[in-house]
Every structure is written in C-alpha cells, then in structure tokens.
Amino acid sequence: MSNSPLTPGIVAGRLSADAIARNFSDHEPAFDRHEARVAADRCYFCHDAPCIAACPTAIDIPLFIRQIATGTPEAAAKTIWSQNILGGICARVCPTETLCEEACVREAAEGKPVEIGRLQRYATDVAMAKGLHPFTRGAPTGKRVAVVGAGPAGLACAHRLAMHGHDVVVFERRPKAGGLNEYGIASYKATGGFAQKEVDWLLSIGGIEIRTGVELGRDVTLAELEAEYDAVFLGIGLAGVNALRATGEDKAGVRNAVDFIAELRQCPDLTTLPIGRDVVVIGGGMTAVDAAVQSKLLGAENVTIVYRRGQEKMSASAYEQEHATSVGVRIICNAMPVAIHGNGAVREVEFAYTEETPEGLKSTGETFRLKADQVFKAIGQTLVGAPEGLAVAGGKLAGPSGKVWVGGDCAAGGEDLTVTAVAEGRDAAEAIHLHLMG
Amino acid sequence: MADLSSNFIGIKSPNPFWLASAPPTDKQYNVERAFAAGWGGVVWKTLGAEGPPIVNVNGPRYGAIWGADRRLLGLNNIELITDRPLEVNLREIKEVKRKWKDRALVISLMVPCEEDSWKAILKQIEDTEADGVELNFGCPHGMAERGMGSAVGQVPEYIEMVTRWVKQYSRMPCIVKLTPNVTSILPPAMAAKRGGADAVSLINTVKSITNVDLDHFSPFPMIDGKGSHGGYCGPAVKPIALNMVAEIARHQETRGLPISGIGGVTTWRDAAEFMALGAGNVQVCTAAMTYGFKIVQEMISGLSQYLDEKQMSLDSLIGRAVPNFVEWQHLNLNYVTKAQIDQDLCIKCGRCYAACEDTSHQAIAMSPDRVFTVKDEECVACNLCVDVCPVENCITMRELPKGAVDPRTGKVVGDHADWTTHPNNPMAQAAE
C-alpha cells in the first residue's frame, strides 16, 4: 500500500483492504433472536400508538413488536410489509430518531425509545432469509400500468398494483432498479447487496416487468405511455443538483455528492475508489453526511461539512450528525461558500460566515478558507425532466392529473424520505386501482 | 445495623433466612458453602427410610416460566427426595452441625405412613444433633403416588397421627410442612397443631404443568416424549403462599402457631412481607437455585436497613400486618377513592385508557392530543389503571374526605360502614 490518509490529492487505497472492509461493514449489526425478544419486550403496546402516527407508512408497530416478542417474526414481517413493502431497507435507512422512535413513549419516559428500526430489520431479515413473500398477485384484471422510476415509490406502487392483478411495466433510466436505495444511501447502511436482494424479493410477486436504461423524455414520452397504458405513475425522483453559485465551481475536484455516493455504491472494490486528502462537503442534509462519513471511511485525512445555517436547521438528524462527528468529521455551521480557489483543480474553499436577518441569510463579511483537494456539493436536489403539461408546484410535480399519478421525491408534499416515497407509491397504486376498477 | 438473630421455636440462627429442603441442601458440600455465604439455617433435603434410595429421572427435572430477558418467574420440578444413602446423609449432617454450631440445621423427613417407619427414622437421626425435624407432607409429585408427601398433607387425620408419633418418639422440635394443594389450608394446619407440632412451614410446591412442547405435544419437563405434573415454586407462587400463611396466622384456632414462611421469597422485601403476615422466619429455594447462595447477603442488608429505618425489632415485625388482614365483609364501603393522573409524569402510552375503556368502567377520557384524565363520575377506584401504568406513581388513588360527595354515586362519604350492616345485605345486622 503506497498511499495513506496523508497522500496529497485524490487517490485510491488510502487504507488497507482490511480497514476498508471493517469501515464499510454493517453500521448497526442485526439483532439475534434473544436480543430481539428483549428489545421487543420493552414495547408498551400503547393504545392508538404514537409511533404508528409518526410512521409515514403507518406500520402497526406495537403489533409487529408483539409478534416478535411471542416468537413469530414471520408474522411481524407480514404486518410490516402490509403497510411498507420496502420495510427491509426502511428499517436500515429511516431516520427513526425523528419518526417512530422519537414518538415512542419510552423516548419521553427515559430518553431511550424501543428500538423499532432494528426490530423491524430483525423481522424482515428473518422472513426474507426464509424466502417468505406473504403476498400473491391478484387475479389478472387485464389493465396495464406504466411506472416510471424503479425507486422506492415506483417499486411500492408496482407491487401494490401487482397485488391487485394489474400488469406493471417499470421504466428505469439507470442500469439497475432500486433508485436511491441502490445509488443514493451510504454503503454501510445496506451491506451485502441488500438493496438488490430486496428488489428481487419484491418482484417475486410476479406481474412486474422492469425495463432499465429507459429514460422518460429521451427514450419514451409521457404521451406515448398514456396512449399505451391504462395509467401511469411517475416516481422519477430529483435528478438535478443545486449549484453552489460560488465562483470556481467548475474546478477539477468539485463534484456532486450524489454522484460520489452512487459511484461508491457501485464500486466493486473500494480500495480502488479515489478520495481526497482534504475533503469539504457543502450542505446540511443526509446526503452531506453520507458523503462526508464515507470520505472519512475511505481514508481522507480531513473531512469537513460546512452548512450555511445554524446546526439546529440541518436536515440531517442529530443521530446522523453524531455519527459523522464520531468517525472524525468536523461540522462547521453558519458559513456559506463564496469562492473555490485553485489553479485548475481546487486547492481551497473560501467561506463567509452568515447570520440570519429579517431579510434572510446574509454574509457577515468575515471569511475563512479551508484546504481542499476535493469538494462535494450536497445542497439539495432538484426536479429535472418533468414532462410537459404536468403542473409543477414549488419545484415538484403536483398530481394526479388525468391518468397520471406521481409520488416519491419528485412529488409535492411529504418529506424526501424513502419511507415517504413508499407510502406515496402505495397510495397512488390504491388510487389507480380504484380508478381502473371503479 | 438491626439485630437479625432469630429464635424460631427454640432453634437459633443468626438471621431468619433458611434454605428450604430442596436440591441446594442435599449434601454437606452445598450446605457448608451456603453457611459460608451467610444463610442462617438450612432444612436438609428430605431423607427417606433406610434401604435402597429412591431413583430420580435422568431427563430434565425442571420446567420454567420466564419474563423478559429470561428472568425466571416460576420453576416446577419433578425431583424426588434425596437419592443418596441414608447413612451418608446422616454422617454429613452430623459433621456440618459440629462445624457450624451457630446455624440452624433441621432435617426434613418423609417415610411411609406407619408408626414403625417414623419411629425408626427418628431414632436414626437422633445422633446427628440436628436442631429439629420438618415433616414433608407437601411434595405433590412422585412420592405422593406412593402414599407420602402431599398424599399425607391432604388428609388432616394423617397429619395429626404422624405428628403425634413424631412428638412421641422424639424430643426434637417438630415443624410440619404443608401442601397448598388443598381447598383450605386451615384443616391441615389445625391437624398439625392438634398433633402437637411446634410449627408449620408452608407452602410446599403447587401441582402444576408449566408449559407444553408444541412440537412434541408433551407437558414440560419432557421425559422421552412424556411429561408429569410437577411442583411449582418461585416468585409466581408468592401470592398464594402469603395468603395461606396469613390465614393460619389470623384464624382463632391456629393463631400463635409458629410459621416458617415459604414460597417465592426472592428479596428481603418478600421476606419482610411473609413475616409481617405472621411468619417467624422464611425458607428460600428458587431464588438460590436461580442466583446462587450469595443472594442471602442482599436479604440480610435489606431487612436490616428496613428495620433500622422503621426503628423496629425483628420480633415486632412478625405478625404486624395480621390484624389488618380481614374478611371482605369487614372492608369499609365508605372508603371512597378516585384515580388521578399526574400529567407531568404521564408518557401518554394510553394503557390506562385501553384498560379502563375496554375492560373496566369507561372512566378515563382521552383527548385528541393524548391527554388522559379520570372521569370521577365514572371511576369506581378499581385500581386497574394504576396496575397497567408503566410509570410508577403516575396514577395514584386519591381518598375522598369524609363529607365529600362522590360524583359517581352522589352520596356523601360517611363513617365506616361495611357489608355486615349494609341495607343491600339480606343478612345485615339491624342497627341498634
């Protein structure tokens, strides 16, 4: 190994293969049977439980936890999947600390909620390992539905449509199905190719055809889909990335965080993936944290997240922020990028401190510079490629319209979370079913 | 530190914690280690008649009920009396007593219900210098089928007869161990007293099946595909034992008969409760079998602290709650309480609401923002909400003062009045 965290520039192999393997192993190991039962026993089986209300997919959490406690995780998995067919990945990536576990009454009582996310993972893992798929395709209706985007929204929609007996074709622009589950989340949250395993498991219901490498607007138009199918669901996500609007953004070494994350997820050997020595991540969300943490885990010496507003406004949860700082990422708040310096390639990023004013966020005039050979932009994604004729509100698709339904990150309403996308895809499928059969 | 030294029917021990007759007390090695750990006394595992010892099963002897994290709540056993030769036990008992003079050592006995058998065994143990004998009229399994154990304990006449033989042929203090597998514990206790027993000890184990293997369809513990009933013990049986102890302690015919309390004693608090209801000391088994001999140290420190805090002697604890253990008809029907929920402590789980709404008196209201409040006009003060609430002291019972109006009945809270004088009682005694 010739490189180390101290090697200048963007290089691969800063850490040994062993260290890389350790760093990217399961972030939160699975419960074993006994651990699951003990964790499950902490659930109070609340009346009209607050955790259910806090779950975008409204999983009956007390019921599934009781099913685990009584030794039937398979039944628990069915309870989970009935509401959230991607319950496996959601158990891994949901910011439970701001959803179900925040609402857990034991969080209020002791600051230590029932570990709902890990219990959900236990149940779904057990059932998937047994090859159980407790849903069957409904009797064929002869209706055909096009789903654009094989991300969480599209997959959830497709599965629910298949349960109702409709034929589904899913169009996906990328080479693989899964959307952000496959391309957009930190590797250590879904180890062992889980995202693809879950897609395969989901498709085992039958009646769903996935066509990859097909992009809406480029390879097929919405008008064509509307003409050919009885209904169309758009779950196209947010394919664009916001610009920094700082000078020098085009310098070498400046990159979208989502592209880095996607490349990392698809990289078969992380010792071959180049990373900078001094990495600066600009943004305050989960993407920023995922990019920063994984930069550190690849062996970057210094990784800094810079967020333009106060820490309390960061959309990455406190838990995610803690995780970042625990691996050695530094978080600087109240600073915005004004220029990227360097001769061809980035060498430093110049920031200005900010303050909140009645007119909005403003520079205080005081600046500082961070050494950087790699910069990741993580200041939010935007909707691109919205088909003409669909209403756009607040930068997102407003639906439904005619025979077109929308859901997931591209759709207005709800947070941009996997679990929200699943809920929207599922609900759109129910609406489509009602429309087709009503 | 409070003085815990105990004198139970003339048998002295440095504390009132004895190990009950059971596997922990079946040999010198165990008993000496128990004494070293601090136990005040032991009742040596039951000896049988001379001759070939009994034989135990070679499969599992115990079944169990667990709480979360496999906390043992109840244990059931199908083990029999000692399976070691009588002479070995006698030699070891003598040796232990010689080495541990300050500790109580009582021998548990079970021989056939014949005068000669009892006469013989009593003669054989005389030489051990043990402090007393305990007659095992309790074991509900194995030996009962052979006409011993609970087969004797369920027939008061046999209890009286055997106790009489024992008192006739031995000068040793005699404790009669009672089985709970009876309709009422009083006739056996009265029989023991009539027979001349110095004390009773209770309860022995409760006839039970802990669970069923749902793959092999056999009760547990499963021996080659079959199961037998066993004797149940541990924390789960404590409420049954407390009641039986208290019944003997308060009944006019058995009042004053010394009681050695047994049944699920796990902590100093359990021991204190048994003693408050009339037990002169306690015997422990399951807790030791679960955690080892060391637990006695917590019992000693806990009971000492409690007595110190109450500025009470051990003797004055014994029986202190007995006068307050009354029959239902003497409970004050004019004692009116209402549940009240401390909103600062409430974590909004809604269990009180579910319990009251679904299974009680619909006396708790739930607001859309999950604030739970008691409807005094519906609350009968059943206490179920208190019992299901996961937060200690969040829900408490508030006593209505005399003169207040109960919003549920519209009646004014008056002086003590119980069922014996209530107008709805056809047997009510007319007010003088």
pLDDT digits (tens, 9 = 90+) for A133-181: 999 999 999 999 999 999 999 999 999 999 999 999 999 999 999 999 9
Do A285 and A351 lie in one domain? The reply is: yes
Q: Across chain B, what does the average pLDDT equal? A: 96
Q: How far apart are CA A12 and CA A274, in angstroms?
A: 4
A330 lies in the same domain as A409: no
- Predicted confidence at residue B430, as pLDDT, reads 58
Of residues B87 and A386, the one with the higher pLDDT is: B87
Q: What residue in A sits closest to B344 (Cα-Cα)?
A: A109
Q: Which of B113, B139, B233, B382 is catalytic?
A: B139
Q: State yes or no: is B389 an active-site residue.
A: no
Identify the residue whose tokens are 């691969």.
A12
Residue B367 has pLDDT above 90, yes or no: yes
B158 interfacial to chain A (CB closer than 8 Å): no
The verdict on A69 and A189 lying in the same domain is no
Q: How far does B67 lie from chain A, in Å, by closest CA?
A: 9
Q: A194 with A103, same domain?
A: no
pTM, to two decimals: 0.90
Is residue A190 included in any domain, yes or no?
Answer: yes
pLDDT at B7: 98
Distance CA B254, CA A3 (A): 88
Average model confidence (pLDDT) for chain A? Answer: 95
Residue A96 resides in a domain: yes
CA angle B334, B335, B337 (to 5 degrees): 130
Structural domains in chain B plus CATH codes: 6-324 (3.20.20.70), 328-421 (3.30.70.20)
Cα separations in angstroms, A262 against A73, A182, A258, A287, A294: 33, 8, 6, 11, 12
- Please name the member of B67, B70, B349 whose beta carbon is closest to the beta carbon of A44: B349
- A308 and A360 co-located in one domain: yes
The pLDDT of residue A29 is 86
Residues A221 and A289 in one domain: no
The pLDDT assigned to A27 comes to 83
Tell me the average pLDDT across A56-76: 96
> In this structure, are A57 and A173 located in the same domain?
no
CB contact under 8 A, A50 and B370: yes
* A121 and A48 within one domain: yes
Contact (CB<8Å) B347/A105: yes
Instruction: Identify whether the C-beta of residue A230 lies closer than 8 Å to the C-beta of residue A256.
Output: no
The pair of three-digit structure tokens given for residue A427, joined into one six-digit string: 């609900």
Please indicate, yes or no, if residue A28 is contained in any of the structural domains: no
State how many domains chain A has: 3
Closest CA to A288 of A260, A310, A252, A269: A260
Q: Are residues A363 and A314 in the same domain?
A: yes
Query: Could you say which of A86, A105, A129 is where a domain stops?
Result: A129
CA A108 to chain centre: 27
Same domain, A250 and A372: yes
For A275-326, what is each residue's pLDDT tens digit? 999 999 999 999 999 999 999 999 999 999 999 999 999 999 999 999 999 9
Do A108 and A123 have their domain in common? Answer: yes
Domain final residue pick, A66, A95, A129: A129
pLDDT band, very low/low/confident/very high, at B287 (cuts 50, 70, 90):
very high
Chain A interface includes B73 (CB < 8 A): no
Q: Which tens digits make up the pLDDT trace of B133-182? A: 999 998 888 888 888 888 999 999 999 999 999 999 999 999 999 999 99
Please indicate, yes or no, if residue A277 is contained in any of the structural domains.
Answer: yes
Burial (CB count within 10 angstroms: exposed 0-12, middle 13-18, buried 19+), residue B126: middle
Q: Is residue A181 part of a domain?
A: yes
Cα of B350 vs its chain's centroid, Å: 34
Interchain proximity B391–A109, CB inside 8 Å: yes
What's the pLDDT at A1? 53
Between strands B212-213 and B218-219, the pairing is: antiparallel
Residues B181-199, mean pLDDT to the nearest whole number: 98
CA dist A433 and A145 (Å) reads: 10
CA angle A12, A17, A23 (to 5 degrees): 95
- Closest chain B residue to A110, measured at CA: B347
Question: Higher pLDDT residue, B408 or A2?
Answer: B408
Query: Does any domain span residue A16?
Result: no
Interface residue of A38, A45, A46 to substitute, partner B, most B CBs within 10 Å:
A46
The ipTM value here is: 0.83
- Identify the CATH number of the domain in which residue A94 sits: 1.10.1060.10
The answer on pLDDT for A47 being more than 60 is: yes
Compute, in degrees rounded to 10, the torsion defined by CA atoms A107, A111, A117, A118: -130
Token pair, residue A44, equals 């109070």
The residue segments making up the domain with residue A116 are 33-129
Residue type present at position B292: G
Gap between the Cα atoms of B261 and B245, Å rounded: 7
Q: Looking at the structure, tell me whether residues A373 and A269 fall in a common domain.
A: yes
Q: Cβ distance B107 to B128 under 8 Å?
A: yes
Would the pLDDT of B276 be above 60? Answer: yes
Residue A214 has pLDDT above 80, yes or no: yes
